[in-house]
């Protein structure tokens, strides 16, 4: 860690130089945070259940806060820890307007997704109601993004970068990386091994430390900013740029997976009444996403007040540099430790959600535990291949999966497709429209111009002209109006036909 020198005045005429060990400061900071988090976690382990006069089990506010903190940590540990500082840096003085653009896709819709899952069932169930082909073209790519092809390997790679920086390891040392990854996924599996214990384990061991660390960074950065307002560099429209940037966090996708995990945890706590499950799910999700709203805004404000500093830095490098400037080398060490813990919480939540999906998709032929082990193994291999290649290939998958996720979330929140053919048809057509247009965007990104084939060249030219002509197309929102029109047209054409379209537990 090296040494830090402080000049301490002993009297008006002389000074003494005191050598203070950076490692000692780091240990002291960790000890202080540990004492705080130990007290918080012990409070959360107090009596968790209450009973109403009818004998139904309920949850105390401490239990609700504990679950809500776990929801926050699972969301925060992915892109939500890294992206907001960069958004703030690029937004500059327009930070509040950009935040309003980010809010729907990165914050509000993920909260609504918990409601949609509570009403409509798991992501697999909702996708099946649209059609089996839709599940394979949408839900499977979504789970690959959340799981072994993107989010989980990105988390282990980020953790390795944090640990190597913290202890001065070489990031390119193959043996050290393999040993770390084996240890990382073994620790993750300890949390994953028993699905019913995941939330309790994370709320006791990971969440309190993360919360204290994050708010220390934000408070310091807001009250004592690094510089003035940065110059905006995001493009032309703050709201649309923020809206599309919210895709990159993948929060809506992971919310659709995490919601099932929280529902399972509530049932394990004895909450069996469907109305109580919905109420507690939305309360805990509101707590978790509410904290996420504060950390997003706080980190964006910190990034926006960096002036002309760190002009060439983005994402993890920018965040680490900002924390180093705010808290010194000790702060840099704590940041890397926090990044490791945050990445671990997200990897655990994503693996649990995807493993549960695979168990449901295979109808139990592949167990939850076997799926968790398999996903960990594939994620470790993908991570070792280099994330730059993975990001380059998987980035278009967000264009495929995010629009249908928005349609399903809004549709299942407002309509009841398991009771009405009209509702089911409306969601089905709108979802297919958004998925097809998402695939168009993805294919254009993957293949671009095609030479030597007149048909493909003409087709891609037509699609590019279509995207340019549709309102919002050039901003990545070309699916919105067609999906809305298709859904409304189906609603009108379907008339008032009713009846059970698909069973709710299909």
459 in the same domain as 317:
no
pLDDT at 19 (0 to 100): 36
In a domain, 448, yes or no: yes
Confidence band (pLDDT; 50, 70, 90) for 450? low
In a domain, 65, yes or no: yes
433 in the same domain as 404:
no
In a domain, 161, yes or no: yes
In a domain, 21, yes or no: no
Confidence band (pLDDT; 50, 70, 90) for 502? very low
**Dist. CA 506–CA 504, nearest whole Å:** 6
Please say if the pLDDT value at position 93 is more than 60: yes
Confidence band (pLDDT; 50, 70, 90) for 307? very high
In a domain, 45, yes or no: no
232 in the same domain as 349:
yes
Residues 138-172: tens digit of each pLDDT: 988 889 888 998 889 888 887 787 777 667 777 77
Final residue of a structural domain among 414, 443, 471? 414
286 in the same domain as 430:
no
Please say if the pLDDT value at position 1 is more than 50: no
Helices (H), 45-169: 61-75, 81-91, 95-103, 109-120, 123-130, 132-134, 140-146, 151-167
Q: Kindly report which listed range (45-54, 156-165, 465-474, 493-502) carries the lowest average pLDDT score.
A: 45-54
CATH of the domain at 360: 1.20.1740.10
Residues 61-75: tens digit of each pLDDT: 989 999 999 999 999
pLDDT at 42 (0 to 100): 52
Confidence band (pLDDT; 50, 70, 90) for 31? low
In the numeric block, the tokens 């110059």 are attached to 231
In the numeric block, the tokens 């070792």 are attached to 384
228 in the same domain as 311:
yes
Q: How far is CA 267 from CA 14, 123, 152, 262, in A?
A: 68, 18, 26, 9
Residues 330-357: tens digit of each pLDDT: 777 877 788 888 888 989 999 999 999 8
Percentage of residues of the chain with pLDDT beyond 90: 38
Q: Which of 250, 282, 346, 361 is nearest to 117 (CA)?
A: 282
409 in the same domain as 422:
no
Final residue of a structural domain among 414, 436, 468? 414
Q: How far is CA 378 from CA 149, 156, 158, 424, 450, in A?
A: 8, 12, 17, 36, 33
Greatest distance between any 2 Cα atoms in the chain:
92
- The whole-number average pLDDT for the span 25-35 is 53
Q: 18 — phi, psi (to 5°)?
A: -110, 125
- The whole-number average pLDDT for the span 372-395 is 80
DSSP bridge pairs for 185 = none
431 in the same domain as 285:
no
pLDDT at 8 (0 to 100): 38
SS (H, E, C) 15-76: EEEEEEEHHHHHHHHHHHHHHHHHHHHHHHCCCCEEECCCCCEEECHHHHHHHHHHHHHHHH
In a domain, 25, yes or no: no
Let me know: does 126 contact 408? Beta carbons within 8 Å: yes
Beta carbons within 8 Å of 214's beta carbon, 6+ residues apart = 76, 81, 295, 338
Let me know: does 433 contact 482? Beta carbons within 8 Å: yes
pLDDT at 431 (0 to 100): 96
Confidence band (pLDDT; 50, 70, 90) for 440? confident
- The whole-number average pLDDT for the span 23-40 is 52
pLDDT at 32 (0 to 100): 54
469 in the same domain as 345:
no
Let me know: does 375 contact 148? Beta carbons within 8 Å: yes
Please say if the pLDDT value at position 12 is more than 60: no
The region, left, alpha or beta by phi > 0 then psi within -120 to 50, assigned to residue 335 is alpha
366 in the same domain as 390:
yes
- The whole-number average pLDDT for the span 315-322 is 84
The domain total for the chain is: 2
pLDDT at 16 (0 to 100): 38
Q: Which of 123, 145, 144 is nearest to 134 (CA)?
A: 123
Q: Kindly report which listed range (13-22, 78-87, 196-205, 304-313) carries the lowest average pLDDT score.
A: 13-22
Q: What is the mean pLDDT of the chain?
A: 82
Residues 180-228: tens digit of each pLDDT: 899 999 999 999 988 888 888 888 878 888 888 889 889 999 999 999 9
Range of the domain at 217: 53-414
The total of other beta-carbon atoms located within 10 Å of residue 270's CB is 14
DSSP bridge pairs for 50 = 58
**Dist. CA 201–CA 63, nearest whole Å:** 13
Beta carbons within 8 Å of 467's beta carbon, 6+ residues apart = 440, 441, 444, 473, 474, 478
Angle at 403 between CA 399 and CA 407, to 5 degrees: 170
Count of CA atoms in the C-beta half-sphere (13 A) of 6 = 9
């Amino acid at each position: 860690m090296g040494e830090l020198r402080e000049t301490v005045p002993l009297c008006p005429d002389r000074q003494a130089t005191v050598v203070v060990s950076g490692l000692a400061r780091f240990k002291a900071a960790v000890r202080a945070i540990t004492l705080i988090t130990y007290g918080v976690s012990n409070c959360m382990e107090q009596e968790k259940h209450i009973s109403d006069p009818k004998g139904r089990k309920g949850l105390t506010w401490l239990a609700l806060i504990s679950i809500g903190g776990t929801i926050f940590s699972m969301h925060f540990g992915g892109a939500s820890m890294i992206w907001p500082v960069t958004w703030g840096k690029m937004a500059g003085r327009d930070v509040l307007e950009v935040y309003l653009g980010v809010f729907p896709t990165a914050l509000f819709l993920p909260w609504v997704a918990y409601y949609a899952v509570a009403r409509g069932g798991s992501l697999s169930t909702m996708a099946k109601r649209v059609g089996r082909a839709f599940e394979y073209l949408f839900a499977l790519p979504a789970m690959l993004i959340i799981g072994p092809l993107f989010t989980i390997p990105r988390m282990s790679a980020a953790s390795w970068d944090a640990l190597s920086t913290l202890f001065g390891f070489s990031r390119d040392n193959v043996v050290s990386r393999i040993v770390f990854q084996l240890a990382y996924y073994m620790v993750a599996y300890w949390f994953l091994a028993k699905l019913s214990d995941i939330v309790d384990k994370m709320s006791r061991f990971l969440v309190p430390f993360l919360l204290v660390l994050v708010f220390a960074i934000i408070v310091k950065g807001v009250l004592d900013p690094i510089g003035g307002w940065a110059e905006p560099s995001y493009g032309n429209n703050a709201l649309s740029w923020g809206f599309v940037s919210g895709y990159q966090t993948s929060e809506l996708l992971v919310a659709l997976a995490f919601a099932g995990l929280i529902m399972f945890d509530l049932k394990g706590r004895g909450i069996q009444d469907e109305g109580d499950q919905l109420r507690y799910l939305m309360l805990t999700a509101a707590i978790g996403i509410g904290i996420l709203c504060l950390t997003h805004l706080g980190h964006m404000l910190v990034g926006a007040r960096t002036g002309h500093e760190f002009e060439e830095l983005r994402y993890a490098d920018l965040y680490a540099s900002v924390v180093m400037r705010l808290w010194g080398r000790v702060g840099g060490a704590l940041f890397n430790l926090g990044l490791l813990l945050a990445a671990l919480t997200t990897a655990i939540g994503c693996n649990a959600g995807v493993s549960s999906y695979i168990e449901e998709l295979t109808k139990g032929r592949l167990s939850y535990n076997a799926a968790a082990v398999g996903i960990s193994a594939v994620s470790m291999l993908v991570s070792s291949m280099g994330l730059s290649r993975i990001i380059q290939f998987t980035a278009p998958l967000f264009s495929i999966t995010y629009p249908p996720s928005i349609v399903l979330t809004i549709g299942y929140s407002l309509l009841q497709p398991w009771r009405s053919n009209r509702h089911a048809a409306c969601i089905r057509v709108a979802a297919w429209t958004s998925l097809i247009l998402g695939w168009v965007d993805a294919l254009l990104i993957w293949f671009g111009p095609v030479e030597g084939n007149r048909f493909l060249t003409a087709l891609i030219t037509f699609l590019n002209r279509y995207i340019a002509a549709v309102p919002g197309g050039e901003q990545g929102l070309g699916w919105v109006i067609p999906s809305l029109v298709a859904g409304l047209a189906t609603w009108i054409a379907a008339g008032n036909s009713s009846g059970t379209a698909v069973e709710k537990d299909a």
